[in-house]
Chains A and B, each alone.
Chain A
C-alpha cells in the first residue's frame, strides 16, 4: 500500500457516485419509467395535436357542418374551395413526382456508379436544394423564371418567362423534392452486388435491360419510399408555394391564408383532411412497399441494346446533368446573382433607392434590424429545438432499435414517420389548436409555440437517422461492457455514446437545418416574432425584392455551411 491510498481522491469519489447513480438509473423499474416518459413525450408532442384535432372535428361536427357545408351565405363554397385546392395539390404533386423520378433516378445512377472529378461537388449540389429553406428557394426560382432579371435576359424580354402559377409551383417543387428520390436509392445502387449484373451480361443482356430487370427491382423499396416522400413534401409544402403560386392556392397555402383570416373551423377541417390523406399514403407505403412490382416486364432486346449504346448513355447522362443545372441548380441559387445585380441600385434604371444597399441598410425602416432580429429568433429556435429533440429522440431511437416485440416496433417505427409526411402547415395548425386558446389554452401563438411546432415536425428527422446509428452498433460491445460489471446506463455512456457521436451530430445538423428553414407551421404558430424564412415571405409580399434577396442569401449560406458540416461528419464516420 502506498501512502495516501486509503483516502480516495476527488476523481474516485466523483466516479463512484456517478456509477452508483447510473446503477440506480439502470434498474428495470427506472428504465421502464424512462420508456413510458419517452413514449409520453412523443404522444404529447407529435400524436397529441393530431388526435386532438380529430377529436374536435368529431365533437364539434355541428359547427363544421354549418361553416363548411351549410354556410347561410356561402353554402358549401368553403368545401368546394377545399376540394379545388386539394385537387390542385394532388395534380401538382403527381406531376412533380414524375419529374422527380425522371431527374432523380439517372442522377442517383450517375452519383452511385461513375467516378469523375467533382463528383463530391455534384453530390453536394444535388442535396443543396433540400437544405435551403423553401421560401428562399421559391423566391430564387421566381426571380429566375418569373421576372425580367433571370432567364428572360437571355432573349432580352421585358417580362419573365413564366408568371406565378402552376408551372412555377412545379418547377419549385421539383427542385426540393427530387433529391429525396436520388438520396433514397443512391446508397442502395452503390451497394448492389455487381456480380449479379455481370452474370446478366454473360447471359447476353444489355446494360439497360439489366438495369431494368435486375438492378432497379432491387431498389424499388427505396425508390417507392423516396417517391412517396417527394410526393408528400410537394403536397404539403408552404414556403416556396406561397411565393410562386399567385392566385393558384394549394391546400397548405389555403390553410395559411384561412388561418390569417381566423376561419378556425374551416381551417381545422382542411388540416384534418390533409392529415388523413398523408396518413393513408404513409400506411399504404408501409403495407404495400414489399408487394408492388415494377410495371414493365417485357424485354425488347434490340431496342434496349440501342438504349445501352455509349452514344445514348452519354447523351442521357449529359441530358440529366444539364436538366439538373438548368431547372434546379441555377434557378435555386439565382437569388445570389440577383443580389449582386441589385447591390448598389436598380440594374435597369440605376436608381440607388431601388438597390439592396439602400433598402436594407439606409432606408428609414432599417430592414437590417428586422433581418438581424429574425435571424437571431431563427437561430434561437433552431438551437432550442435541436437540443430538446436530441434529448427526447435519443431514448426513443434506442428503444425502437432494441425493441424485441416486432409488432410494437413496427407500429412505433411507423408512427415516427408521421411528422415527415404531414404538411407542416396542417401540423402547425393542430399544434396551435391543441396548445392555444381552442384547446389546452397554455400558450398563445409566439416563440414557445413555434418551438413546439418545430420540435414536432423535426422529430422524425432526429429519430430516424439515430435508429440507424443504434442498429449499426454491434451488441457485443454492450455485452462486453456488461461482462466487466458496467450497468446499462454506464455501458451507454462509456461505450454506446462514443459510437453514436457522429450519428448524433448528423441528426443535430439535420434538425437544426429543418428548423431554420421551415415556413408553413411557423406562420401559423407565430405571434409578433418573425423567423427569417417568414420575414422573407413578408418582404416578398411587400415587393421589396432586394431585401428579400439579401435574407435569402443569408439563408442559403447557412444551409450550405450546414450541409458541408453534415458531409464532413458523415464522411468521417465512413472512414473510421
Chain B
C-alpha cells in the first residue's frame, strides 16, 4: 500500500528559478491531501515531481519506501487527472478507460473486468459507448477518473480537477471524489486554488508558499490553530495586531496593543518580546462602546465603514494606533454602525494565535 514520502526535494528550473525548495513531508497510505498556496508557490511543480513529468534537482521521493525520483512518468504507475481532463476524444468512454490496461499488455478478459468495475465505480456505465465530444464536462471528469481506476494505479494525482466545472456541480463532485478515493483505497494528492474545496475534500491540507511547505495539517488545524503567520493569513482571513508581551506566566498571555492590554493565547513568547497576534476576522465581536456588560478583553476603536457583503457584513475599525482592522459579523447583527462611532472590539483569548514578531516585519512573512 502506498505511502508517499518526500525528502529534501528541490527543483530548480533553468539556472536559478527555485520552484520547490527543500520540501519534505509524508503522506500516509489512503490519505487524501490537498496542496494549496498562492500562484507560483510550487504546488503544481510538487505534483509534477510526484508524477514524474519533471525530475527533482535534489532530494528523494519514495513510494512505499521505494525510491522513484529517477523514474519517468511511464514507470511510476500513478493515476493523473489533468485540469482539462486530457481524455482522448477519438476513443469512447469505455476505450478511454481501457487505455491503461491495453498499453500495459493486459489480457482481454482482465481488461473487460477492470473497465467494467471502473465504469460502475464512477457511475458512467450508461454512457460507455459514447465519444467524449458528445458529453458534458462532469462526464469528462468521470471518464478521466474511470481511466485512472481501470489502470489500477494506487496513487491518484489531481491537478485542479474540478476547475472546469460550475460551482454547484463542483460542490457535488467534491463529495463524490472523496467517496470514490476512499472506496477504491487510493492515496490522493489534489492541487487546487480553491481553499473551500481543499478544506472540504481532504484529510490533510498542505499550505505552500515560495516553494516551501508552510504547514501540513487537518482543515481544523489550519483554521483554528495555524502555527504561523502565513497560514493564518492565507487560509481564511485574519487581522494581525502588532504587540509586546507583558506577562507570559498564565495560560493566556497579556500583550500590549497600542495603549490597551489584552489577553491572548500563550504560545511561549517571553515577556518583553514583540509579537504578532492573529485573530480571524469572524472571531472578533463588535460592541457599542457604551455597552458595559461585556467581557473586558477588548480594543477600543472607531468605525470607518460598515459594509453589507451578503450573508456577512464587513466592519472596518480604526484602532487607537491608527491600524485599521476588518471584522466580519453576521448580516443580521442587530446594530448598524455609523461612521466615526466609537466601538469595542471584543476578543476571545482562546481563539487567538500569538506568534513571534518576524525580523523583517509582518509584510515580509506574508509575501507570496
> Which residues of A come within 8 Å of B, CB atoms?
2, 5, 8-9, 11-12, 15-16, 19, 474, 476-477, 479-487, 490, 494-495, 498-499, 576
- Given the interface pairs A15-B102, A476-B82, A499-B90, the reply to whether A482 lies near B73 with Cβ below 8 Å is yes
Query: Do A9 and B103 touch (CB < 8 A)?
Result: no
Say yes or no: B75 contacts A479, CB within 8 Å: no
**A474 to B108 CA separation, bound complex (whole angstroms):** 30
- Contact digits for B103-135, partner A, Cβ 8 Å, 1 yes 0 no: 111111110000000000000000000000100
Q: Which residues of A contact B88 (CB under 8 A)?
A: 477, 480, 494-495, 498
Q: Does B305 contact A (CB under 8 A)?
A: no
Sample (23) of A-B pairs whose CB atoms are under 8 Å apart:
A8-B107, A11-B108, A12-B105, A15-B102, A15-B105, A19-B104, A476-B82, A476-B84, A477-B86, A479-B82, A480-B80, A480-B82, A482-B74, A483-B51, A483-B73, A483-B80, A484-B100, A484-B103, A485-B100, A485-B151, A486-B103, A494-B103, A498-B90
Q: B147 within 8 Å of A by Cβ?
A: yes
The 6 closest A-B pairs by CB, nearest first: A484-B100, A480-B86, A498-B90, A476-B86, A483-B80, A486-B103
**Which residues of A are found within 8 Å of B53, using beta-carbon distances?**
479, 482
Contacts of B106 in A (CB 8 A): 12
Which residues does chain B contribute within 8 Å of A474, judged by CB atoms? 84, 86
B110 and chain A: residue at smallest CB distance: A5
Contact A494 B99 (CB under 8 A): yes
Closest-by-CB residue of B relative to A497 is B90
Residue B72 interfacial (CB < 8 Å):
yes
Say whether B211 faces chain A, with CB atoms less than 8 Å apart.
no
Contact across chains for B107 and A5 when beta carbons are under 8 A apart: yes
What's the A-B contact tally at a CB cutoff of 8 Å? Answer: 74
Across-interface contacts of A9 in B (CB, < 8 A): 107-108
Measured in the bound complex, the distance between the Cα atoms of B4 and A416 in whole Å is 47
The residue in chain B whose Cβ has the minimal distance to the Cβ of A480 is: B86
CB distance from B45 to the nearest CB of A (A): 15
State which residues 60-83 of B face A: CB under 8 Å. 72-75, 77-80, 82
CB-based contact A485/B80 at 8 Å: no
Flag if A482 contacts B90 (CB, 8 Å).
no
Q: How far is the CB of A20 from chain B (nearest CB, A)?
A: 8
Given contacts A479-B80, A479-B86, A495-B88, contact A485 B103 (CB under 8 A): yes
Q: A479-B73, A482-B73, A483-B79 are in contact. List 19 more A-B contacts (CB 8 A).
A: A2-B109, A5-B109, A5-B110, A8-B107, A9-B108, A19-B104, A474-B84, A476-B86, A479-B82, A480-B82, A481-B99, A481-B103, A483-B80, A484-B100, A485-B75, A485-B100, A485-B103, A485-B151, A498-B88
**Residue of B73, B104, B106 ringed by the most chain A CB atoms within 10 A:** B73
Closest to A499 in B: B90
Q: Which listed residue, B72, B87, B107, B147, touches A482 by the CB 8 Å rule?
A: B72
Q: Please, how many angstroms separate the alpha-carbon atoms of A476 and B84 in the complex?
A: 8
| B113 CB, min distance to chain A CBs, angstroms | 9
Listed residue (A9, A474, A480, A494) with the most chain B CB atoms within 10 angstroms of its CB = A480
Q: How far is the CA of A281 from the CA of B103 in the complex (A)?
A: 48
A484–B82 touching, CB < 8 Å: no
* Measured CA separation A487–B73 after assembly (Å): 10
Known: A483-B79, A576-B133. A12 touches B74 (CB 8 A): no
Interface positions of B from 133 to 186, Cβ below 8 Å from A: 133, 147, 151
Most buried by A among B74, B87, B90, B110: B74
Write the chain A residue with the least CB distance to B82: A476
Q: How far is the CA of A490 from the CA of B103 in the complex (A)?
A: 8
A499 to chain B: which residues have CB within 8 Å? Answer: 90
Pairwise interchain contact A19-B105, C-beta atoms closer than 8 A:
yes
